[in-house]
Amino acid sequence: MEYFSITSFTKEISRINLIGILLGHFVFAVALTQLLDWSWLKNLMSEEDKKKMLRSYTWKDMLVDGSIIAVAVGIIFLIVSIFL
C-alpha cells in the first residue's frame, strides 16, 4: 500500500518542488553546522594518537572511504531519480 502512496506522490510533485526541497535541506544543513559548537571535536584524540592514526592510514582505507561515499551519493541519486 505504501508503494502506491509513493507513486501518487511522485505524480503530484514537480521538478521545481524537488529542487526546492533538496536546496532547503542543504541550506538547513549548512546553517545547523554553523550554529552548533564543534569545538569539542578537537579534544577527542591527543596529538600523538592523531599522528599514529594518520601514519597507519593506507590506500585500502582510502578505497573503503571512497566506496562508502560513492554508495551514499548513489543512494541520493536513486532517491532523486524516483521523483523526476
Q: d(Cα 65, Cα 30) in Å, to the nearest integer?
A: 22
Angle at 71 between CA 33 and CA 1, to 5 degrees: 95
Contact residues for 71 (Cβ-Cβ < 8 A; gap 6+): none
> In this predicted structure, what is the pLDDT of residue 76?
87
CB 11 within 8 A of CB 69: no
Instruction: Please report which confidence band the pLDDT of residue 1 belongs to, taking 50, 70 and 90 as the band edges.
Output: very low
What pLDDT score does 49 carry?
87
Write phi, then psi, for 46 (nearest 5 degrees): -80, 165
Of residues 53 and 8, the one with the higher pLDDT is 53
CA atoms of 35 and 31, how far apart (whole Å): 6
Q: Domains of the chain: which residue ranges?
A: 2-83
Reported as a single tens digit per residue, the pLDDT across 21-75 is 889 899 998 888 888 877 777 788 888 888 888 888 888 989 999 999 999 999 9
